[in-house]
Amino acid sequence: MTRQELLTRLAQGNERRIVLLVLDGVGDLRTADQPRTALEEARTPNLDELAARSALGRLVPAGTGITPGSGPGHLALFGYDPGSPDADVGRGVLEALGLGLDVPPDTVVARGNFATVDGAGLLLDRRAGRIPTAEGRRICGLLARRIAADGGVLGDRVEVEVHAGEAYRFVLLFRARAGTAPLDSALADTDPQQLGVPPLPIEAIGGDAARETARRIAPVLEVLQRELRSEERANTFLLRGFSRLPSLSGIGELYRLRAAALAGYPLYRGVARACGMDVVDCGKSFGQVLDRLEECWADFDYFFLHVKGTDMAGEDGDLAAKVGVIEEVDALLPRLLDLGPDVLAITGDHSTPAPMKAHSWHPVPLLLSSEYCFVDDCARFTEAEAIRGAVGTIPSSELMGLLLANAGKLGKFGA
């Protein structure tokens, strides 16, 4: 019996409310040049006061030394094993979710780059000179009209959609026409990752179903590529990350939760939806998230709140900006506490240390507040304090069970 199966067996619904507040990438580093982390640097009277009557600990998102993307980072926080194939959210799907697109489970998604080839069809630029977003949109418009001209169906009965992203990026969605065999996503990238060679033809990396899908999709790509011939820079495209939305059991059925996601950015809404949460529309600031939280407080008993600013500041290497986001969250924290959540966890999906300007593998500090959390000796919500917290250092994927336990939502195991 897996841990998730055991939790499902023990889950017993009740009215108590759990809030998981994810400060994306909040974990940071002490280095020679940056002696204090953003959490240490920030003035956080409300978090300090809460930490003093809470349990701290640390979450390891995807295993020691493993740097997770946003998909695995969040799936782990929602109780899934981010290493299991079931929970593998491919890059194509993530890109589509990030654009706010709905990705039905039977849809194969690829992430595209517009690119430049010479007269002989050899790659000159894998990003088409980083064309601006408006240019990418214009070209996607061309492709969309071509698709519409065939009634939305190209190749061997494949429904196709194209959506522009930032700059030279776009996504393609493929779905088998009703009554035909479903498409498989075990397809290799067509991006050869080098210049002076032609784009790769589409090829299966899986079995028969994938080979059949490659055969059906190949003519789609030919038609679309022909449409770009007269473009100056974006005269071809490269596809990567063919994938489908993982078919996960929703956390509603797994844990008897009525779960809501309040996230300002589409990627996180998409991952939450893939986990069976209801997505509550809200703005990007923590204040806007709280506005909606207050409105829907009666309707759910598990709330995933997402704050993006910490990660963005970390990616920019901007410690002061990260400190600012944390202080903004701290200032608004009383509004969250006034709702009286029975269990409140504050943590991140991974660390994004400012000195690294990137996601990292470092454990993420966790603050756990509930009537029965065990009040430990940690005085502040920081990385270093969290090392000696009562929760210890545990995999992120174990957090869900801990939240359920603290909310009295798990029965006893064995007699």
Which stretches of the chain bind its own copies, using CB under 8 A? 1, 3, 6-7, 10, 29-32, 35, 53, 58, 62-72, 82-85, 88-91, 94-95, 241, 353, 355-356, 359-363, 371-372, 374-377, 383-384, 387-390, 392-394, 398, 401-406, 410-415
Tokens of 341: 């959540």
CA distance 242 to 184: 9
In whole angstroms, how close is the CB of 415 to its own copies at the nearest point? Answer: 4
Shortest distance (Å) from residue 218 CB to its own copies: 25
CB of 68 to its own copies, least distance (A): 5
Q: Report DSSP letters for 146-211, one per residue.
A: HHHHTTTEETTTEEEEEEE-STTEEEEEEEEPTTSPPP---B--S--SSSSSPPPPP-BSSSHHHH
Shortest Cβ 338–its own copies spacing (Å):
17
> Distance between CA atoms of 336 and 332, rounded to whole angstroms?
7
- CB atoms closer than 10 angstroms to residue 392: 13
Q: What are phi and psi of 8, to 5 degrees?
A: -60, -40
Q: Is 313 helix (H, G, I), strand (E, B) or coil?
A: helix
Please identify, using beta-carbon distances, which residue of 152 and 355 lies nearer to its own copies. 355
Closest approach, Cβ 12 to its own copies, in A, equals: 12
Distances (CA, A) of 259 to 218, 233, 256, 279: 40, 46, 9, 9
The amino acid sitting at 350 is H
Query: H-type helices in 281-318, by residue range?
Result: 286-296, 309-315
Cβ distance to its own copies smaller for residue 42 or 224:
42
What's the half-sphere exposure (Cβ side, CA atoms, 13 Å) at 307?
A: 28
Q: Which is nearer to its own copies, 36 or 138 (CB)?
A: 36
CB of 51 to its own copies, least distance (A): 14
Task: Name the residue with tokens 């999906």.
Answer: 349
Alpha-carbon radius of gyration of the chain? 23
CB closer to its own copies out of 10 and 153 = 10
Find the helix or strand (DSSP H, E) in which 216 lies: helix 208-227
Q: Using an 8 Å Cβ cutoff, are 193 and 200 in contact?
A: no
The CB-of-374 to its own copies minimum distance in angstroms stands at 6
- Least distance CB 15 / its own copies (angstroms): 18
86 vs 294, which CB is nearer to its own copies?
86
CB nearer to its own copies: give 54 or 236.
Answer: 54
* CB closer to its own copies, 26 vs 154: 26
Burial of 196 (0-12, 13-18, 19+ CB in 10 A): exposed
127 vs 146, beta carbon nearer its own copies: 127
C-beta closer to its own copies: residue 216 or 362: 362
- Which residue, among 7, 109, 29, has the nearest Cα to 350 in the 3D structure? 29
Token pair 């009562």 is found at 390
CA torsion, ordered 358, 267, 22, 261, to nearest 10 deg? 180
CB 83, min distance to its own copies, A: 6
- Least separation in angstroms between residue 56's CB and its own copies is 10
Of 108 and 293, the one with the shorter C-beta distance to its own copies is: 108
Amino acid at 363: P
Shortest separation between residue 102's beta carbon and its own copies, angstroms = 18
Nearest-angstrom CA–CA distance, 40 and 299:
36
What do you get for the CA distance between the two ends of the chain, in Å? 17
Q: Between residues 259 and 343, which has the closer beta carbon with respect to its own copies?
A: 343
- Looking at residue 19, its amino acid is V
